Amino acid sequence: MGLSHGYGPAASPADAEALLLGALDRGVTLFDTAALYGFGHNEELLGRVLAPHRSRFMLASKCGIFRENGQRRIDGRPETLRRTCEDSLRRLRTDVIDLYYLHRWDKTVPIEDSVGALADLVRAGNIRSIGLSEVSAATLRRAHAVHPIAAVQSEYSLWSREVEIAVLQACRELGAALVAFSPLGRAFLADGLSDPVDLDEADLRRRMPRFQADAFARNQALLAPLRRMARDLGCTPGQLALAWLLHQGDDIIPIPGTTRLPHLDENLGAVGVRLDAATCDQLARLFDRGLVSGERYGAATQAEIDTEQFPAS
């Protein structure tokens, strides 16, 4: 996403190509995009750069949020999902998308209808498997009754643990993977953000509660013990945060995003960080939800998603 959308200006074509091909050469086998990211720009980028190497990786994209007449829309109607899939296939320069997510559940459309349309795309050979993003356990079960759900993508990290309420367990009961986006807390857990006021005006974090001045100042106190533990283990804070996720189960797939090759190398280094159960428990306690200031999203964005929430403290 960050190559095209969300965190300021898009990466230059040359830098984006170097990053994508560098990831492929380093053994990355899952590339995750969406029609929303740059309103088609990110899919076009992946299509241009990676189509010649299509057999070497698994391709995931998402439907259900797009731009129309200059406005961002959530639309899960079957006819819309079929049309946006056709558009994505064209931009990605591929005949089939391996994993196609409903990016958000359109609450005006029964989840059964949206998933039924995606099931039609599986039968037509346009997509290989179906995923959902930011849904509750109840919605996941309803969807899975229509067609098997291969993966649920939701925010999951040391400081965002809502999936532990119910949806992670539901995934395990149904045999779906949990794909963890923002596993580094949008750079916070990588200790890569000194002051949100320095962020680009278009950066989505400027509008997120956790990155507002008072909350961010309180949250920074959580980083000191993370730094100490990382130093003792011979890794970076970001690698420690990713390693914690990797130790939560083989069915959890973190997808850290980056725009820079050195950050990519750092992220991939987390695979070699070994943690015992006591260290994992200590990390979980350090970022207990009662210690994290601010919600994941503001009220308007929160209303768009279907995930369980912790009671207000």
Is 65 contained in some domain? yes
Percentage of the residues of the chain whose pLDDT score is greater than 90: 94
CA-CA distance, 100 to 4, in Å (whole number)?
19
Which residues of 13-57 form beta strands (DSSP E)? 30-32
Task: Identify the pLDDT of residue 311.
Answer: 84
> Is 161 domain-assigned?
no
> Residue 156: what pLDDT?
98
Q: Classify residue 126: in a domain, yes or no.
A: yes
Q: Can you tell me the distance from the alpha carbon of 119 to that of 116, in angstroms, rounded to the nearest whole number?
A: 5
Tell me: pLDDT of 169 over 70.
Answer: yes
What is the rounded average pLDDT of the residues 100-116? Answer: 98
Could you give the number of structural domains in the chain?
1
Q: Residue 55: which CATH number? A: 3.20.20.100
Q: Please write the tens of the pLDDT for every residue from 40-82.
A: 999 999 999 999 999 999 999 999 998 877 788 999 999 999 9
Cα–Cα distance for residue pair 44/91, rounded to 1 Å: 5
**106-126: average pLDDT:** 98
95: domain range?
Answer: 1-155
User: Is the model's pLDDT at 192 over the cut of 90?
Assistant: no
pLDDT at position 313 over 80: no
- Which residue type is seen at 88? S
CA 166 to chain CA centroid, Å, is 18
* CA–CA distances in Å: residue 73 to residues 104, 121, 193: 10, 21, 30
Query: What six digits make up the tokens of 243?
Result: 């390693």
100 is a catalytic site residue: no
pTM: 0.96
The residue from 37, 101, 156, 297 that is catalytic is 37
Give, in degrees to the nearest 5, the angle at Cα 293 between 312 and 211: 125
Is residue 3 situated within a structural domain?
Answer: yes
Residue 110 lies in a domain: yes
Mean pLDDT value across residues 6-15: 94
d(CA 285, CA 297): 22
Is 287 inside any structural domain? no
User: How many whole angstroms separate alpha carbon 256 and alpha carbon 253?
Assistant: 10
Across 266-277, average pLDDT: 98
Q: Which residues of 57-74 are buried (b: 16+ CB within 10 A; e: fewer)?
A: bebbbbbbbbeeeeeeeb
Whether residue 138 is contained in a domain is answered as yes
The pLDDT confidence band at residue 261, using thresholds 50, 70 and 90, is very high
Cβ-proximal residues to 164 (8 Å cutoff; 6+ apart), any chain: none
Tokens of 137: 């356990």
pLDDT at 66: 84
Query: Is the pLDDT confidence value at 151 over 70?
Result: yes
Give the integer Cα–Cα distance in Å for 119 and 125.
10
**Would you say residue 72 lies in a domain?**
yes
pLDDT digits (tens, 9 = 90+) for 207-254: 999 999 999 999 999 999 999 999 999 999 999 999 999 999 999 999
CA torsion sign, 245 to 223 to 297 to 85?
A: negative
